């Protein structure tokens, strides 16, 4: 039996004393849009939180763009199907076709980069995958949340 848990976002309006770099905002919005636009605002928020958790984690790059574009490259291009976020190396252009979802992704990216956002159930989550697949790495992780078509994990 599959358990689906709803995401409850607790947003504390603690503005971070730094400007939002437009490239970081774009990278975060792009990843949320391509990875979760069909899951609405909360699905995009969950993906954004995972990206931020990775930025804070010592094992991953310390920038949003570094995290979402992490993976091997060949001649300056990502190696197909070998990067951390599948949209980045699936061989398709990162084209925006749904302007409403893009606007939401930009809004969520700005909020995540300027405000402390805690999402119950995603504490420490650094991984996720589509629920239609079963990656080998998942067995070594702690499942935190199943929201719509994504399953989220943290290290054990």
Do 115 and 15 touch, CB atoms closer than 8 A? yes
Residue-range domain boundaries for the chain: 8-12+22-155
Question: What would the pLDDT profile of 42-71 be if each residue is shown by its tens digit?
Answer: 999 999 999 999 999 999 999 999 999 887
The owner of tokens 């970081």 is: 24
Q: Could you give phi then psi for residue 19, rounded to 5 degrees?
A: -80, 150
Spatial CB neighbours of 121, under 8 Å, sequence gap ≥ 6: 5, 7, 8, 144, 145, 152
Q: Which residues contact 21 (CB under 8 A, 6 or more apart)?
A: none
From CA 143, how far away is CA 127, in angstroms rounded? 9
pLDDT digits (tens, 9 = 90+) for 7-29: 554 444 444 444 557 899 999 99
**pLDDT value of position 68:** 92
For residues 122, 123, 125, 129, the Cα torsion angle rounded to the nearest 10 degrees is: -10
Instruction: Determine the CATH number of domain 8-12+22-155.
Output: 1.10.10.2520
What is the pTM assigned to this prediction? 0.82
């Amino acid at each position: 039996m599959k358990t689906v848990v709803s995401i409850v976002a607790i947003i504390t309006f603690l503005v971070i004393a730094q400007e939002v770099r437009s490239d970081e905002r774009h990278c975060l919005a792009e990843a949320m849009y391509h990875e979760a636009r069909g899951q609405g605002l909360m699905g995009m928020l969950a993906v954004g939180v995972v990206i931020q958790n990775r930025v804070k984690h010592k094992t991953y790059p310390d920038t949003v763009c570094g995290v979402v574009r992490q993976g091997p490259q060949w001649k300056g291009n990502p190696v197909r199907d070998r990067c951390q976020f599948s949209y980045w190396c699936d061989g398709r252009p990162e084209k925006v076709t749904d302007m409403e979802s893009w606007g939401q992704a930009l809004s969520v990216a700005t909020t995540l980069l300027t405000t402390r956002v805690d999402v119950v159930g995603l504490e420490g989550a650094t991984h996720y995958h589509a629920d239609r697949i079963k990656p080998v790495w998942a067995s070594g992780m702690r499942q935190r949340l199943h929201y719509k078509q994504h399953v989220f994990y943290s290290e054990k």
